[in-house]
Amino acid sequence: MNLFRRISATGAMAVAAGAVALSSTGPAFAQPGDASARGVVVDLSAAVAGVPVITADAVIGSAVAPAGGGTDTDTALAITIPGALGVTASGTVVEVTATRGPTASSANAEIADLALAVLGTPVIDAEAITAAVACPQTGPQTADTTFVGLELFGEPIELLPNTPGVTAGTAVVVPGLVGATLNATLTNVETVTADDAVAIAVQATLRLTGTVVGGPLLDVPVGTVILAEARCERPLGPSPTPTVTPTQPTPTPTQPTGAPTQPTASPDPILPVTGNDSTRLWWLFGMGAAMVAVGGGGMLILRRNRTALDV
């Protein structure tokens, strides 16, 4: 019974381990030849004393290169954020495109006449924003971004790739907060590696600070806004042609011209026991020992019987 119980417990542990393994599947990673682009991505949320003051969640313009190859495109999309609280936006996502080909992948995004306001205050304005990447099968990847008329809180700015960016703040009106300030940091990304390329024209990180009436100073993360993003992965190269090594012919050994002379064998001496197998010797030794033991035993029994008769 205990044996069956142990087998059952072992099976249960195996089933549990399999379930854990199946439930811990890792996240999907980018694959060779992938490409994607997004126009405007808004992810903002903030509350003061438990009351929401900012809410906006939207992706306007998205393209993903088909798995089997080809191009995905989205064009002429109005920039609006339905259901947003404390956030307004306008402009046009002119185009987002992502292409997967046998020898290259690429993506690009373009925005025109953007105006983004938070809590009634203009935050980001631009006449044109673009991002483009290219990933050829051979040669270097490229990532490029451009801006025309880019402004932060109404002031013209210049963004340099892969730097801390530009940070600024402005006073805003928020119910329940004294001295409320909306802070924004804008950065620009242009990165390439041996296998991929990423271009993000504008990535904005927003924070809200202020003092609760009769309470502490608040520093509330508001979220992020992405404007014109493009990504691609280098396609795999063709498989190299295997090198075939020619088979060398096996040389034929030279046969002797005459018959070899056979040596004259000396006759073996005749021995009492033929053969060289030691197993036979041990067998004979064992049989002899057994016979000695049987004989000795028989004699001992006869002696005991005779002694008993004499008595």
- Judged on CB neighbours under 10 Å (0-12, 13-18, 19+), 55 is middle
Q: Do residues 38 and 229 make contact, with C-beta atoms less than 8 angstroms apart?
A: yes
Provide the sign of the torsion angle of the four alpha carbons 117, 118, 122, 128, taken in this order: negative
Neighbours of 80 (CB within 10 A): 13
- Give the count of beta carbons closer than 10 Å to the beta carbon of residue 73: 13
Nearest to 230 by CA among 186, 185, 189, 187: 189
Do residues 48 and 175 make contact, with C-beta atoms less than 8 angstroms apart?
Answer: yes
Whether the CB-CB separation of 188 and 161 falls below 8 Å is answered with yes
Model-level pTM?
Answer: 0.69
- Token pair in block for residue 82: 């339905």
Contacts of 138 (CB under 8 A, 6+ apart): 237
Q: How far apart are CA 202 and CA 232, in angstroms?
A: 18
Backbone angles phi, psi at 228, to 5 degrees: 65, 100
Q: Return all residues near 219 (Cβ < 8 A) that are at least 6 apart.
A: 207, 208, 209
Rounded CA gap, 7 and 11, in Å? 6
**Contact at 8 Å (CB) between 184 and 205?**
yes
pLDDT tens digit at each of 311 positions of the chain: 444 344 444 443 333 333 333 333 333 457 999 999 999 999 999 999 899 999 999 999 999 999 999 999 999 999 999 999 999 999 999 999 999 999 999 999 999 999 999 999 999 999 999 999 999 999 999 999 999 999 999 999 999 999 999 999 999 999 889 999 999 999 999 999 999 999 999 999 999 999 998 888 999 999 999 999 999 999 987 655 455 555 555 555 555 554 444 544 444 444 433 444 444 444 444 555 455 454 444 444 445 544 444 43
Dihedral angle over CA of 168, 171, 176, 177, nearest 10: 60
Q: Give Dmax over CA atoms of the chain in angstroms.
A: 140
Question: CA 232, CA 29: separation in Å to the nearest integer?
Answer: 12
Q: Which of 138, 44, 128 is nearest to 94 (CA)?
A: 128
Q: Hey, CA dihedral for 49, 83, 86, 128, is it positive or negative?
A: positive
The domain ranges of the chain are 30-233
